[in-house]
Amino acid sequence: MTSPPQAATAGNDTTTAGESASLTEEKTDTSQGTTAGRSPGQLMWMRFKRDRTGVIAGCVVIFFFALAALAPVVGWIYGKDPYTFYGLEDMSLLDPFGYPTGSPGGVSGEHWFGIEPDLGRDVMMQLLYGMRTSLYTAVPVTIVSVVLGVLLGLVGGFFGGKTDYWIGRITDFFMALPSQLFLISTMPVVVALFVDPQKETPVYVRFLAMLIILSFLGWMGMARLVRSATLSLREREFVEAAKVSGASRWRILRKELLPNLYTPILVQGTLMLPMAILSVAFLSYVGIGYTEPTPDWGRMFQRAGEIYQDNPVYMLFPGIAMVIFIVSFNLLGDSVRDAIDPKAGR
């Protein structure tokens, strides 16, 4: 027989570990003698600030975005640009074989990261403008991919039935495509739709072609994630209550389901952006993305692959910059996930 105190204890012990953590974080303001209730956003920010790795990664990501956005300002202060052939203007910067003279890579007080072999362009300005090009392409690609994935995942998960079946089969089909081969084969075709192959392709056309292709191939992971979350949410009491009250399907999707999907969407989006940057760099590396004279990370790697045996320093700075940025963004995504949902990392 269970004693009354034990029964009362068992009946009241219903607080989960996540709720206990949230209650603990609602600290008492001793100076005022009142309890300071905090919103979920404030609690998330408090958890994120305690994560040193996430804060450092966030600062690094912001620093890269600031450098990319202020590349013209940096160039004005630095006194260089990514298009001038400094090695051809000053013949002492290059040896008879076209490689930088002096210190490895031509690193000096005039050219902090050295100069490019043969043409003598400034590597630092090539890198900053290359970051600018890659980020300005990858961010719209990520936004379009997220929007497509969220819409298809919500519709398939909420409506179910044949709608969910056909969206799922379409998603499986695109996920089965060999993405790199598809990119290589499709990019020239899409460019040819806008410009005659006999004419020079403008930069904005290449941007639009990459936006279309990369967005076309980048929404599937987000769609499957949102669909699985929607399937679990559509049976919850607040959704049933909205249906009983006569709310339209559009209102339920927009007001009831979507606000509860912000966490997986935000985390997945932070992981999709680095992948988009790598895809943009890959297209330029194989020669079907951005081409001369547009500065781009991938084009720098393509050039470095040709000369790395004789001038390995040219690959050093763009390689280090990309590794730092990709790792920092992935760490930032993990930290944001843990800050929004502390139980997700357990």
Helix (H) or strand (E) holding 137: helix 123-159
Contact by Cβ (8 Å): 182, 286: no
pTM of the model as a whole: 0.80
* Residue 15 in this model has a pLDDT that exceeds 80: no
Q: Mean pLDDT lowest for which of 109-118, 148-157, 189-198, 231-240?
A: 189-198
Amino acid in the structure at residue 19? E
CA 57 to chain CA centroid, nearest Å: 13
Query: Which residue from 309, 325, 329, 327 is spatially nearest to 317, judged by alpha carbons?
Result: 325
Confidence of residue 1 (pLDDT cuts 50, 70, 90): very low
Q: Assign 35 to helix, strand or coil.
A: strand
Supply the pLDDT for residue 244: 82
Supply the pLDDT for residue 89: 81
Phi, psi of 11 (to 5 degrees): -75, -30
pLDDT tens readout for residues 211-245: 988 988 888 889 999 988 888 888 788 888 888 88
Distance CA 338, CA 156 (A): 27
Our CA angle for 254, 259, 263, nearest 5°, is 140
Phi, psi of 228 (to 5 degrees): -65, -40
More confident residue, 228 or 3: 228
Supply the pLDDT for residue 305: 83
Our CA angle for 219, 221, 225, nearest 5°, is 115
Question: Mean per-residue pLDDT for 265-280?
Answer: 88
Query: Which residue from 67, 126, 129, 144 is spatially nearest to 325, judged by alpha carbons?
Result: 67
CA 48 to chain CA centroid, nearest Å: 19
Supply the pLDDT for residue 342: 65
Query: Which residue from 91, 37, 47, 2 is spatially nearest to 340, judged by alpha carbons?
Result: 47
Helix (H) or strand (E) holding 207: helix 203-218
Supply the pLDDT for residue 19: 43
More confident residue, 31 or 343: 343
Question: Mean per-residue pLDDT for 90-105?
Answer: 81
Question: What rounded mean pLDDT belongs to the chain?
Answer: 81
Contact by Cβ (8 Å): 92, 38: no
List, in order, residues 6 or more apart from 56 with CB less than 8 Å away.
328
Q: Which two tokens stand for residue 340?
A: 């929004």
pLDDT tens readout for residues 132-145: 999 999 999 999 99
Confidence of residue 40 (pLDDT cuts 50, 70, 90): low
Amino acid in the structure at residue 217? L
pLDDT tens readout for residues 274-290: 889 988 988 888 888 88
Distances (CA, A) of 155 to 47, 236, 266: 33, 17, 19
